[in-house]
Amino acid sequence: MSAAGERPEPVSIRGASHAEVARRVGSLAQVARIEQVVEADGPGRGARRLRLVTGGGLELDVLPDRALDLGRLTVHGVPLAWVAPAGFSAPGLYRADDFGTSFGGGLLVTCGLDHVGSPVVDGGRRFPQHGRLTSVPASVERAAVVGDELVVEGVVRQATLHEENLVLRRRIRAGLGSTWVTVEDTVTNEGWRPEPHLVLYHANLGWPLVSESAELDVSSARVEPDGPDAVGDAWREIVAPEAGYRQRVHRHDLAPGTGRATVSNPELGLRLTLSFPTATLPVLYQWKMFAPGQNVLGLEPANAPAIQGRVAAREAGALPVLAPGESVSYRLRFDVDRLPAGPLSPPGRLPVERRSSTVPPHHT
C-alpha cells in the first residue's frame, strides 16, 4: 500500500517477500511488530509507548501520551533521534511556564495547534512556548499490521472551555521491511468560531548522525538568520560540540513542490531525508545547538513564518485561520538510506551494501 504520489515498491524483509516470510516464521511478530508497553519507572511512569519494528532495520517509538509524537529512532542499530536531558516524561509533569523541563526531544515534537514560538499573551490569555498540543494524550484507534505496513492511528483534541476546539487526526505508517515512516495529519476546527492555527513539526536529530562529518542540504529558495546569533553563521555547517556555543536559528523559505531536508554522514554510511509538501508547509526553521551535552540539529517544517508566535504573525498578516468545520492536512516522510561505498570509505563504518528504502531558551 502506498499514499497518493508514492511509488509502490515490493515488500522485502531480509531479502524475502511477505509471502515467503509467512512460509518461514511461526508469526510475523518474529521479524516485524508493534509492541505496546507502559513505562514502569522514573519521570515517564504510567506513560504509554508503542514500539514499531519494521523488520528492515527501523525501530521507532510512538508516544500516545505525547499527542502521538515520535520518540527514539534507530536504523540498523544506530540511534538517529536526539533525546533532551529531561527525557520523555509523562504529560502530568508538563509545566506550561517552563517548557524545557518537559521537552523530551525525539524524532518529532508537534508544536501548536494555535501557537508556536516563545510564550505570548493574546487577548488576555497566555499561550505557552510552542503551544500545548504535545502535552495532550491521544486516543489510539488502531495499532496493527495492515497489509504491508505497520499502522498507528489516533485522535488528539486540543480544547478549552469557551475557547478553541481543534482536533488532530494522525496516521503513522511504516512499511514492512523498510526504513521509512510517514506522519499524515488532518487538523479540523470543530468549534463554532474561526480559530488561529499554527503548527510546526519539530524534528530533532542527534549523534552519531549529527557530527562534524555530517552534511546538511535543504531545498531552500531563500535562507535568512533568525536572531543575532545566527547572523553570519554558515547554516550548512555542523561542528563538534563547543563550550559556549549559542543556539542559532535559520529560516528557510522553500521552493514550491516537495520540501526536502537531508542529513548525510559519509563516515557513518547513512542518510536521513525529511520530505513534505510545501503547499501546506512552505517554511522550514533550522535549529542548531552544538553545545556540550546538547548537540542537536532541529529541522522544523511550519505552516507559516511565525516563529515569533501568533501575535507577531497576526500583525504581519501571516496568521492562518481555520473557519468552523474547516480542515487542513499535512504530511511528512522520513527516509533513511545507506550511502553507497566510496573509494576511501573509512574503516569501522556500517556495511554499505545498497538497500532500497521502500518508499517535526529562544527556540527549542
Three-class SS of residue 53? strand
By the 8 A CB rule, do 287 and 300 touch?
A: yes
What confidence tens digit (pLDDT) does each residue in 28-80 have? 999 999 999 999 999 899 999 999 999 999 999 999 999 999 999 999 999 99
For residues 71 and 210, give the distance between their C-alpha atoms in angstroms, rounded to a whole number. 17
Pairing of strands 198-205, 296-302: antiparallel
In a domain, 330, yes or no: yes
CATH number at residue 311: 2.70.98.10
Instruction: For the sheet with 258-265, list strands across it.
Output: 139-146, 149-159, 165-175, 180-189, 327-338, 270-277, 258-265, 215-218
145 occurs within a structural domain = yes
Residue linked to cell 533513511: 336
Neighbouring C-beta atoms of residue 67, cutoff 10 Å: 24
Beta 195-196 vs 180-189: how paired, if at all?
unpaired
Check whether the bond before 208 is cis (ω within 30° of 0). yes
Q: Which of 244, 317, 255 is nearest to 282 (CA)?
A: 255
Q: Residue 297 falls within a domain, yes or no?
A: yes
Report if residue 42 sits inside a domain. Answer: no
Strand partners, 276: 259
Q: Is residue 31, in this structure, part of any structural domain at all?
A: no
Report the pLDDT value the prediction gives residue 342, as an integer from 0 to 100: 53
User: What's the total number of domains in the chain?
Assistant: 1
Q: What is the pLDDT of residue 9?
A: 65
Segment 118-142, tens digit of pLDDT: 999 999 999 998 999 999 999 999 9
237 within some domain: yes
Torsion, Cα of 279, 281, 53, 79 (10° steps): 140
In a domain, 72, yes or no: no
pLDDT in tens, 190-244: 999 999 999 999 999 999 999 999 999 999 999 999 999 999 999 999 999 999 9
Q: Which of helix, strand or coil describes residue 94?
A: coil
| Residues 150, 32 contacting (CB under 8 angstroms) | yes
Provide the domain limits for residue 254.
Answer: 108-338
Domain-located, residue 291 = yes
